[in-house]
Amino acid sequence: MDSFFKTPRGKILIFTDLDGTLLDDQTYDFTPALRALKLIRSRKIPLILVSSKTRAEIELYRKGLSLKDPFIAENGGAIYFPGAFPLPDEYSYETVDEYHEVLIGTPLAVLNDRIRELKEQFRFRCFSEMTIEEIAAETGLTHEQAGLAASREFDEPILLESGPDEEELLCKRAYELGLDCVHGGRFLHLFCGGDKGKAVDMILNVYRQQCSPLTSIGLGDSQNDVSMLWAVDKAVVMQTRDGGYIEGLDHPDLLKVRGRGPDAWNSAVLSILEDLLS
């Protein structure tokens, strides 16, 4: 049991978004962050991936990063704990492959009628309507990666075809239908009940029961990262694609990083850990 919770001073957890944060949002490469990743691994700091990506996509990166920690998929639709991870008794879960899946969001199958109703008023395309080739063309993913991205369970990315001017109106109508509507790096995302911040809080609660107190760090770049960043002690925001920063985050310990992607991530994490581990 101890191996899951043994971190330097027992106090540091890192939560990170993927695209545009740990990953380059064009190449999906994380190698410029290897120096910080090596330090994280050597000090046994849990690195918890928090993304709009599917479980299948995140598993691919967890393997590449040699991670064994919990992770959060599809904008907080579910948390996946390794099967050997010591969960408190109050956490209900389903066994999915080698994971304990803690559901937070509503399955997409339950939301389809509401999404179809939204489509009667706005012109947009859902991931579920696209071919693997179309997803690959829109995202720059390989054919294999696009197939993993298509296997969605809680969160429906959409491309608004009527232009960005209708984004606010679409989200307002989505809320009226009981859907959440947030902007990620490339797409609008429709879901219900999923919440990155709530998922982060749940994971923090698990770790606090084993090694309180903790210092939590969160890194993100998009509007759908705001709830995650509010949930942590230190919030780190990358620049958006247009060179600005996400709005609505007046965090008491906020670091705005110049740049985006793994280079900026590497610099920010090394600087923060230098302070915490010195």
For residue 17, indicate whether it is catalytic.
Answer: yes
Report the amino acid identity of residue 253.
D
How many other β-carbons are positioned within 10 Å of the β-carbon of residue 60?
15
Give phi and psi for 270, each to the nearest 5: -60, -40
Nearest to 195 by CA among 51, 76, 106: 76
Supply 248's token pair: 């609505």
- In angstroms, the CA 168 to CA 174 distance is 10
Nearest to 23 by CA among 227, 262, 254: 262
User: What are the CB-based long-range contacts (under 8 Å, 24+) for 177-182?
Assistant: 177/114, 177/117, 177/118, 178/114, 179/111, 179/114, 179/115, 179/118, 180/75, 182/75, 182/223, 182/224
Instruction: DSSP letter for 251, please.
Output: -
**Helices of type H across the chain:** 34-42, 55-65, 108-119, 132-139, 143-149, 167-176, 196-211, 226-231, 261-277
The one catalytic residue among 2, 17, 89, 113: 17
Give phi and psi for 180, each to the nearest 5: -85, 145
Cβ within 8 Å of residue 64, ≥6 positions away: 30
- In angstroms, the CA 233 to CA 246 distance is 18
- In angstroms, the CA 156 to CA 125 distance is 10
Residues involved in catalysis: 17
